[in-house]
Structure 1
Amino acid sequence: MNYETRVNTVDTDGDVIVEDIIVEDAPAPPRRRWPWFVLAALLLGAIVAFFMLSGGEEEVPFGAAADEGQTQSVTVISPGAASLEGAINATGTLAARREMPVGVVGEGGRVVSVPVEAGDWVRQGQVLAVIDRSVQNQQAASQRAQIDVAQADADLAQANLDRALQLVERGFISQADIDRLTATRDAANARVQVARAQLGERQARNAQLNIVAPAAGLVLARNVEPGQVVTPGSGTLFSIARGGEMELLAAVGENELAQISTGAIVEVTPAGGDQSFSGQVWQVSPIIDETNRQGTVRVALSYAEGLRPGGFATATIASGSVVAPRLPESAILSDDDGSYVFIVDGDNKVVRRNVTVGAISDEGIAIASGLTGRERVVLRAGGFLREGETVRPVAGQ
């Protein structure tokens, strides 16, 4: 765009000359235009923000309602009651159901060989370790010789007695001599019996030199090597799980312990794997540990390669079907007096209700006692309420 301007100039004679000069306008900078999709996004964001700020009922913070004289609203649910498959989750340690420690029974000695390893299956009476018996064999041979000596003395005493009996009829031998020879013969026979008993003892001791399996089962541990000298004080040399049977020692709280009965089916999952093994409760602890208020549930398991004694495992114990309300974890509170919930009565006042929790599942926590399921239970934020406080209940999902 051009425009005209008037300029006054002075010539060389001092006269003022007025001139009209046409000045060209500088080109205008191009006008910036926003892309359509940016404008659409801004418009959509403004609409969403408007509805978020203006829609719904403004929530009154807990504690602020009482200060401002307002009644605060709380979300409540009526859980009802349903038949639930009781399942108790527990953790514990795997172990041999009947673990047999094996040590030195006899006098011990130097170990010559150990023909088994940990993890081997053995039968009853199978030799686990062989102990040198060279000295003991010589002692047994000596006892056999003592039997022969004693037997020879007994034969001689019998022969002397037989001859004396033939002479007594002729009057050459007195009755006192006969009695003496009879006693000598009896003593010789007794020495034979003593020698035989000593040989039997020696043979029994020699038989105990070898360490054998007291029952068939799985060798869990081997604590002896060839060349080692063992004695009755050497402790456990082998550990055997009789029949290879395993068990889980599950720790269960005293409230849940009462719900478990012998014969209940249990699913056991060892740590570090996803394979589960089925077992059965064969013993429920008759006592409760005073320190942690728990009892032990022993779950019998058949042998499986994935079950290793000493390992950690989780268990799901079937506790039968129960009819009980079920609440989310947010509705249940606890203090020194135990677990409780807040309910809203007919006058919209908050009332504390003590409850006993039961099985825990993905759907919630079963309430074993304390609720019928028809109450209006505060769903969450119960920790900010006071018993006797008036509230405005709002039904939750």
Structure 2
Amino acid sequence: MKKLLLISAAVGLAFLGLAGCAKKDAAPDPVRAVRTATVSGSQSVASHEYAAEIRARTESRLGFRVGGKIQSRAVNVGDAVKSGQVLAQLDPQDLRLGQEAARAAVAAAQSNFDQLSADYKRFKELRDQGFIGAADLDRREAAVKTARAQLDQAKAQAAVQGNQATYASLAADAPGVVTAVEAEPGQVVGAGTPVVRLAHDGPRDAVFSVPEDRIGALRQLLNQSGAVTLVPWGAGEPVKATIREVAAAADPATRTFLVKADVGKAPVRLGQTANIRIESKPVDGVIRLPLTAVAEAKGQTVVWLFDRSAMTVRTQPVTVAGADGNTVVIAQGIKPGDEVVIAGAHALTPGQKVKPFVEPVADAGKVIPTSASAPTAASLASR
């Protein structure tokens, strides 16, 4: 009898051991708390800013009209010059020799013409007396005409050489400021090689570059008075400017388009840096969300929509129109009134059970559910 009791006890212990080793059911996942916001449309004004440089409306790269060795340069970068002021000087020796040679050629042509003219008069008298034939007189007349043409040619060549002698001096063709020096004394330059860059006094432009996707909007503002705002760096008040020129082709290196805006009589300095601000017309119904509300899923941009009746979330593909600081502008995919998860979206799965996040109230020791007064996306984006 004792043996039977011992066997029963051992069997019971074995069953208890097996029950203790049995796999326990996994605990359900905790309900995740998420912060949500109700989507609302707001009025938006798009603003674009570009870095610009103040330049002269007319900027000339001045060079000698003849080649030679630079003897001296009288100006440096930043110097203000007057119209007709000498900027640089070539060695004039060769030009003077050319001028003297041209003068000698004129003297020789003049002497030849005078001699043939006198001969023609004598032969004309002989022809009138019948001592020579008409053919001889015609040959003398032709020789006089040839000598006359050679004299005119020599005089023209002498005038050219005289002008070239004066080209040894490079003079400013307008008042302005020297912005660059591209050749130094002792350097041999060819005709037309830039030596000095001169920014003419007068109108000033703000020059800046814009990307290809903005060029259409800039062309619509062309010649519209005060369409853009110039904001000088440092001291200076914003002033209105007018876009007067938009490049027809993109820069081959940067693939941007050069734009020039007339700043009128604004008190700006040559070479000063400024910003060009371009604001579009206000647009109603623009949906903005914090950057934390947007995620990437299966190659699409999505947001998580909160279903308050089922207390679950699901993904909704959206189209982003652009970014503005810490917010994104949604073009399509959601509508005002939708409730979007704006915090905690990185760890969600479709159909997951969630609950609105609640914030503790320290003074009363109570908690107030966020869902009681859900903030709008616009108000959160402005924080």
TM over 0.5: yes
- Indicate how the Cα distance of structure 1 residues 149 and 203 shifts in structure 2: closer, same or farther if over 3 A, else same: same
User: Is it true that 1:378 corresponds to 2:341 in the alignment?
Assistant: yes
CA–CA distance in structure 1, aligned partners of residues 153 and 35 of structure 2? 94
In the alignment, which of 261, 282, 292 is matched to residue 321 of structure 1? 282
User: Aligned pair in 2 of structure 1 residues 333, 106: CA closer, same or farther (>3 Å)?
Assistant: farther
Structure 1 residues 173 and 187: CA distance shift in structure 2, 3 A:
same
Deviation at 1:379, TM superposition (A): 1.6
Q: TM-score, normalised by structure 1?
A: 0.66
Q: How large is the RMSD of aligned CA atoms in angstroms?
A: 3.9
CA contact (8 A) 2:300 2:317 kept: no
Superposed CA deviations along residues 286-311 of structure 1, whole A, max 9, x for unmatched, are 6778999x7446352647555536x6
Distance 1:230 1:291 in 2: 32
Distance 2:253 2:307 in 1: 38
Q: Which amino acid aligns with 2:291?
A: E
Distance change >3 Å, CA 233–CA 289, structure 1 → 2: closer
Is contact 2:56-2:270 (8 Å) kept? no
**Distance of aligned partners of 1:286 and 1:223 in 2 relative to their CA distance in 1, 3 Å threshold:** closer
Partner residue, 1:133: 92
In structure 2, what residue type is equivalent to 1:350? Answer: R
Contact kept in structure 1, 2:316 and 2:333, CA below 8 Å = no
Pick closer, same or farther for the CA change 1:244–1:288 going to 2, 3 Å. closer
Q: For each residue in 1:331-373, what CA deviation from the matched residue of structure 2 results, as whole angstroms up to 9, or x when unmatched?
A: 34468957554333676432233233346258x4444555544
Percent identical = 24
Native 8 Å contact 1:82 1:325 kept in 2:
yes
- Alpha carbons of structure 1 residues 187 and 105: separation in structure 2 relative to 1, 3 Å: same
Look up the match of 2:231.
268
1:21 match:
none
CA distance in 2, matches of 1:336, 1:100: 57
Taking the aligned partners of 1:150 and 1:296, their CA distance within structure 2 comes to: 59
Alignment of 1:352-371 (within 5 A): 352-358=316-322, 360=324, 364-368=327-331, 370-371=333-334
User: What residue in structure 1 maps to residue 9 of structure 2?
Assistant: none
1:86-125 to 2 correspondence within 5 Å?
Answer: 86-91=46-51, 99-114=59-74, 116-122=75-81
Structure 1 residues 122 and 144: CA distance shift in structure 2, 3 A:
same
Cα gap change, 1:211/1:291 in structure 2, threshold over 3 Å: closer, same or farther?
closer
**1:95–1:247 CA contact under 8 A, matched in 2:** yes
Question: What's 1:300 paired with?
Answer: 261
With over 3 angstroms needed to count, the CA separation of the structure-2 counterparts of 1:306 and 1:389, relative to structure 1, is farther
- 1:230-241 matches, within 5 Å, as 230-232=188-190, 235-241=193-199
Contact kept in structure 1, 2:305 and 2:338, CA below 8 Å: yes
Asked if residue 77 in structure 1 is aligned to residue 37 in structure 2, the reply is: yes
Cα deviation, 1:217-269, whole Å, max 9, x if unaligned, reads 432112444x4233128953222334463434245583x66555435313434
Q: CA deviation at 1:189?
A: 0.5
Q: Residue by residue, what CA displacement relative to the aligned partner does 1:65-91 show, whole Å, maximum 9, x if unpaired? A: x98344423222234222223212444
The Cα shift of 1:186 comes to 1.2
Question: Does residue 1:331 correspond to 2:293, yes or no?
Answer: yes
Counterparts of 1:152-301 in structure 2, within 5 Å, are 152-213=111-172, 216-225=175-184, 227-232=185-190, 235-242=193-200, 243=202, 245-252=204-211, 254=213, 259-260=217-218, 261-262=220-221, 263=224, 264-270=227-233, 273=234, 275=236, 277-278=238-239, 279-283=241-245, 295-296=256-257, 298-300=259-261
Question: Retained in 2: the 8 A contact 1:91–1:251?
Answer: no
Query: 2:78 is aligned with what amino acid?
Result: G
- Describe the shift of the 1:246–1:386 C-alpha distance in structure 2 as closer, same or farther (beyond 3 A): farther
Deviations 1:120-146 (A, max 9, x none): 344555432122324323432332232
Q: Which has the higher contact order (CA 8 A, sep 6+)?
A: 2
> Matches of 1:77 and 1:266 in 2, distance apart?
36
**Contact 2:318-2:331 at 8 Å conserved across structures:** no
Aligned partner of 2:47: which letter?
A: A
- Partner deviation per Cα, 1:80-108 (whole Å, 9 max, x = no partner): 22222321244466666654333333113
* SS of alignment partner, residue 188 of structure 1: helix
Q: 1:130 to 1:172 in 2, by over 3 A?
A: same
One-letter code aligned to 2:190: P
More helix by share: 2
Structure 2: stretches of 5+ with no match in the other structure: 1-25, 357-370
